[in-house]
Amino acid sequence: MADTAELVTNVSDTARWVAAFRAAESARPDALFHDPLADRVAGDRGRAIVAHGPRMMRDGWNLVTRTKLIDDLIIQTIAEGCDRVINLAAGMDTRPYRLDLPAELTWIEADLPALIAEKDALLADETPRCALTRTAVDLADPQARQRFLDEALAGAQRALVLTEGLIYYLSDDDVTSLAAALARPEIAWWAVDVNNKAIVKRISKATTELLANAPWQFGPVDPLRFFADLGWTADEVEHLAWAAHRFHRLPWFMKPFTLLPQPDPRAPINQAWKPWSAVVRLTHG
Ligand SMILES: C[S@@+](CC[C@H](N)C(=O)[O-])C[C@H]1O[C@@H](n2cnc3c(N)ncnc32)[C@H](O)[C@@H]1O
């Protein structure tokens, strides 16, 4: 096997990894979504990360499921009156080019400078379906993040903030600080994928070498309690394994779990060993 730590030189390379899974899903005859630009933005490195990554993570069922759930959640939230989408740590996501969006919708992407520069170049000849802009910002820098949010939210009244595949690369303190920064009146919803401690431990063990330069960190025992303590309540919760089962994407060896009752993510989680991950939509106050 290649020295996998060299495949993910920094956290931004993980965006190529996700894109490679979206490209593979798009090529299926029964694809859950069609992302025609995913292969381009994934590039050779994205495909190599999939090929050399841990065997248990090679089919990407969880990332494909997460993508489909968030696609649907965005469309639902726009129908509910969302007037702006702010995609924090947008990575190589290409939703503004592929979702059925109102042309007048403002969609703002933020990510680290090198990734933004590369994405701008890769997609320079493509036309988004809405009013798209991109900003280079380190979201772990509170002052830079504040400046970005002040600008990005000017004129918005019911914004949806999306942080997909971001928070587990941050520390607990960074997530706490992000949650406080997003608690402002222009932001009506925050869509985020959460993993509990049992999942984070399992993935960290499987990716010790691959993600040596971008280790998973944030993973509380009870993610919804963590956010509730910060004033953020989940109004939509989709458990990934059960959604994947519904979408016919759950690996065979996980199917027995879905014979059990679906865990209630809102109930306090006493059994810390139980793996649990979900896409949730949070509202504040
Ligand atoms: C797993 S990728 C997810 C990308 C995208 N949201 C998606 O689902 O395809 C993680 C992303 O987080 C971005 N990221 C991590 N830390 C960041 C930070 N401090 N500021 C801005 N972006 C960050 C990386 O550059 C990368 O694009």
42 touches ligand 1 (CB under 6 Å) = no
Q: pTM of the full predicted structure?
A: 0.95
Please give the average per-residue pLDDT across 172-179, as a whole number. 96
Residue nearest to atom 12 of ligand 1 (CA): 89
pLDDT in tens, 180-194: 999 999 999 999 999
Q: What's the CA-to-centroid distance between 218 and ligand 1, angstroms?
A: 14
Nearest CA to ligand 1 atom 2: 15
Specify the pLDDT at position 271. Answer: 62
Q: Given this model, what pLDDT does residue 147 score?
A: 98
Segment 227-243, tens digit of pLDDT: 999 999 999 999 999 99
Distance 91 CA to ligand 1 centre (A): 5
**Is there an atom of ligand 1 within 6 Å of 59 CB?**
no
User: How far is it, in rounded angstroms, from Cα 174 to Cα 270?
Assistant: 25
Q: Can you identify the CATH homologous superfamily of domain 60-208+219-284?
A: Vaccinia Virus protein VP39 (3.40.50.150)
Residue 1 has pLDDT above 60, yes or no: no
pLDDT 10s digits, 201-210: 888 998 888 8
pLDDT in tens, 15-47: 999 999 999 999 999 999 999 999 999 999 999
Q: What percent of the chain has a predicted confidence (pLDDT) above 70? A: 95
Cα 201 to Cα 206: distance, rounded to the nearest angstrom: 9
The mean of the pLDDT values for the chain is 93
Query: What is the per-residue pLDDT across 61-77, written as a single tens digit (0 to 9) for each?
Result: 999 999 999 999 999 99
Q: Is 112 touching ligand 1 by the criterion CB < 6 Å?
A: yes
Summarised one tens digit per residue, pLDDT across range 232-277 is: 999 999 999 999 999 999 998 888 877 777 766 666 555 666 788 9
